[in-house]
Amino acid sequence: MITLVQILQFEATLKINPMNNSKIHHFSLILRLGGKFVAVASFLTLAIFSPLVSSAQTYDQDYTVKYINDQLESSCELFAEKKNVRIEYSGGGEVVRIDYLFPESINIEEISYSESEGAVVIACYEKAGKCIERDVVKRDSKLLYNRTNLATGCSGEDCESLVNAVKHLLLLFTDKHLERTEPF
């Protein structure tokens, strides 16, 4: 049977800080509690499955919104709400326009980057008509539009990645089981 002294000597030899190496610390805790078989089985389970869990990055709604906002101009910010996406456009430090997108009405396949506009263009399905609600704050008016854009200073592959991220975000609204593990 391995003794507590042997475990502590083993940790000291490897210069292990239990707070920094949870696998070894977990292993030594189990040993302290006794049972060679349980300790070995637990250590092997941690050694085999921990890298799989920690290396799998999922691109969920929060991550995707942050990624998109990091690519947009400072005058444009996107928010994911419960059933829609809100885009706020600001000028002079205050919000001047708010667009509301309803993902089911957006033609996701047609989202693209427009070089002439320097923006990602998002449009409604043709049959959905004008599905983007635009609130012009200073005029206190609400109008419907069939497209909006996300102002960005991207170039090359960064624009393609941004378009992919916007598509992914909108798909997350329509497919609750959608998971993405590949970068944009």
Mean pLDDT in residue range 157-177? 93
Could you say which of 1.25.40, 2.40.160, 2.30.29, 3.40.1710 is the CATH number of the domain covering 61-174?
Answer: 2.30.29
The span from the CA of 91 to the CA of 175, in Å, is 34
The span from the CA of 87 to the CA of 76, in Å, is 7
pTM, full prediction: 0.67
**Residue 182, pLDDT score:** 78
**Residue 176, pLDDT score:** 79
The residue among 11 and 115 whose pLDDT is bigger is 115
**Residue 37, pLDDT score:** 47
Q: How far apart are the first and last CA of the chain?
A: 52
* Domain boundary assignment for the chain: 4-55, 61-174
Give the model confidence (pLDDT) of 60-108 as tens digits. 899 999 999 999 999 999 999 999 999 999 999 999 999 999 999 999 9
The span from the CA of 61 to the CA of 106, in Å, is 17
The structure tokens listed for 139 are 């005029």
Phi, psi of 32 (to 5 degrees): -60, -30
